[in-house]
Amino acid sequence: MNIAVIDYQGGNVQSVLFALERLGMNATLTSDPDVIRGADRVLFPGEGEASSAMRALRAAGLDKVLPTLTQPFLGICLGMQLLGRHSQEGPAGGTELLGMLPFDVVRFTPPDAAHKVPHMGWNNLHDLKTPLFAGLHEPVEVSAQSDSNQVLAPSLLPTAADYVYFVHSYYAPVGDYTIAQTSYPAGVPFSAGVRYRNFYGLQFHVEKSGPVGERILHNFLTGDLG
């Protein structure tokens, strides 16, 4: 399999490359549009700040390339947020993003001093949709859904093991594009996973989320995502 990991000087690429190695996969770290277009799967990792990341993408011409891709594409952490339309992060007025998914990124507003930003730690996922999350939960007997944009069939119940690792101050609200949810400790629900067509995004660090993250990454690389 030909896997491209996008290099725009703003991603936590080494952790992602190590995670791929643990799965027995090799990847090309690249900013070359032709290599990215020719890949079977594209990974878009990210750490840092939205406005500087967008400057780097524009400088490399990737802001024009990425929205045109048709193969399965996965944005991770900041890489997920950059798929949206606009972020409150950045200079006054925020930052215009890639516009590949119909959400705006907003900052957590803690209700008191006991609730910290950034949100950091392990959260359970729920309301999972699409085969990206196949195998994470124990099945129960319900009717099947054939559309990959619907809840996995058979429907799934969470287990204590299905925790993933988050580090972020900004988030995408829950919407029609949401394929996984969790909550900020103050009870604010947000999108842990998003999807529109071939574009997927995960707010958590899939590469740092242990066996659960490895299962999700394996599903992305080898599964039939619809």
CB 142 within 8 A of CB 201: no
Per-residue pLDDT of the chain (226 residues; tens, 9 = 90+): 999 999 987 667 889 999 999 999 999 999 999 999 999 999 999 888 999 999 999 999 999 999 999 999 999 999 999 999 999 999 888 999 999 999 999 999 877 777 888 888 999 999 999 999 998 864 433 333 434 444 443 344 445 457 999 999 999 999 999 999 998 876 789 999 999 999 999 999 999 999 999 999 999 999 888 6
Residue 68's domain is classified under what CATH number? 3.40.50.880
Q: What is the pLDDT of residue 188?
A: 85
Domain encompassing residue 151: 3-222
Q: What is the pLDDT of residue 166?
A: 95
Q: What is the pLDDT of residue 22?
A: 93
The total of other beta-carbon atoms located within 10 Å of residue 61's CB is: 11
CB 217 within 8 A of CB 172: no
Alpha carbon distance, N-terminus to C-terminus of the chain? 18
Number of domains in the chain: 1
Q: What is the pLDDT of residue 218?
A: 96
Rg (CA), the chain: 17
Q: Any idea which residues carry the catalytic annotation?
A: 77, 205, 207
Give the per-residue SS3 of the chain: CCEEEECCCCCCHHHHHHHHHHCCCCCEEECCHHHHHCCCEEEECCCCCHHHHHHHHHHCCHHHHHHHCCCCEEEECHHHHCCCCEECCCCCCCEECCCCCCCEEEECCCCCCCCCCCEEEEEECECCECHHHCCCCEECCCCCCCCCCCECCCCEECCCCCEEEEEECEECCCCCCEEEEEECCCCCEEEEEEEECCEEEECCCHHHCHHHHHHHHHHHHHCCCC
Q: What is the pLDDT of residue 9?
A: 79
On whether the pTM is more than 0.85, the answer is yes
Q: What is the pLDDT of residue 160?
A: 46
Q: What is the pLDDT of residue 119?
A: 86
Q: What is the pLDDT of residue 58?
A: 95
